[in-house]
Structure 1
Amino acid sequence: MEIKYITLFAADISEETAFCRDKLGCLVKKETSFFDGQPCTILNGQQFNINLVLMKSKDGVKQAGTVILNSKDFLKDHYELRQKGIQFQSGPEYTAGGLAAAFTDPAANRWLLVEEREYNED
């Protein structure tokens, strides 16, 4: 088994689709429905090796999710995302899991860019 889709909720699917396409380089695969006939947009995040399913949030209630983007070259990816207009919540910081920085999309989903690193004092 493998995880093939990650679901993100948004009040405005068009705005979320534009963000994922224009800022993150995702390609729109198709419009369909998965759950209870609820329409959704499927995006292929080629560089992420996963598909995003965008669904309308129910009754305008925020249903924010978190997507963790694993980077092999954090500084390069961080720079390229900033050049595309991504505004990070803070500068890169060293965490227990590696070098990381977070941003949000128009639907308030949280995205964490991280380059996993082992910090050993041995």
Structure 2
Amino acid sequence: MSAGFAQNRRIALITLVVDSYDRAKSFYCDSLGFECLSDERMPDGKRWLVVKPKGTDGCGLLLAEADGDQQTCSIGNQTGGRVGFFLNTDDFARDHAAMLAKGVRFLEEPRHEVYGSVAVFEDLYGNRWDLLEPRHSPT
């Protein structure tokens, strides 16, 4: 263990730049089945809008409405076109079917890899995600 660091640290939030708080909240909560943990208005007109997959204690997304041209240009391309987000599930077939029924756009047919069942999908903005049922639970 490195001196000076606590043992119980974790990544709590990842910022995702979006075009509209309400549009993003609707997509993540309605289409992907996330829950809204917080939606608070701040004095500067921004919102503290946090969503995450239901029933987990993992990392959440801070949905941040773009402020200015530079942030607007990053919407949908925050990882340079690579898969940047991984949504793990305990039942790939169930969640894949539910997401398709909600209009989520998958970029490929499901495939079975050594690490599990997976298919790449795009969020509302074109960011790429893996829907992944790991073969073995991560430790």
Specify the alignment match of 1:31 in structure 2.
40
Structure 2 residue corresponding to 1:61, chosen from 60, 73, 78 = 73
CA-CA distance at 1:71 after TM superposition: 1.6
Q: 1:90 aligns with which of 85, 108, 121?
A: 108
**In structure 2, what is the equivalent of residue 42 of structure 1?**
50
Gaps of 5+ in 2: 1-8
Alignment gaps of 5+ in structure 1: none
TM-score (norm 1): 0.76
Aligned equivalents of 1:25 and 1:3: distance in 2? Answer: 21
Per-residue deviation, 1:74: 1.0
User: TM-score with structure 2 length normalisation?
Assistant: 0.68
**What is the DSSP-based 3-state SS (H/G/I as helix, E as strand, rest coil) of the residue aligned with 1:107?**
coil
Find the aligned partners of 2:104 and 2:126 in 1 and give their Cα distance.
13
Greater relative contact order (Cα < 8 A, sep 6+): 1
Displacement of 1:77: 1.4
Alignment RMSD: 2.4
**C-alpha contact (below 8 Å) 1:30/1:41 kept by paired residues:** yes
Higher gyration radius (CA):
2
Q: How many residues align?
A: 115
Give the partner amino acid of 1:107. Y
Give the corresponding residue for 2:97. 79
Identity between Structure 1 and Structure 2 (%):
29
Measure the CA separation in 2 of the matches of 1:44 and 1:115: 17
Amino acid at match of 2:73: V
Aligned pairs (5 A) from 1:5-20: 5-20=13-28
Instruction: Give SS of 2:118's match.
Output: strand
* CA distance in 1 between partners of 2:116 and 2:126 (Å): 24
Deviation at 1:48, TM superposition (A): 4.7
Q: Where does structure 1 differ by over 3 angstroms across 4 or more consecutive aligned residues?
A: 37-40, 47-50
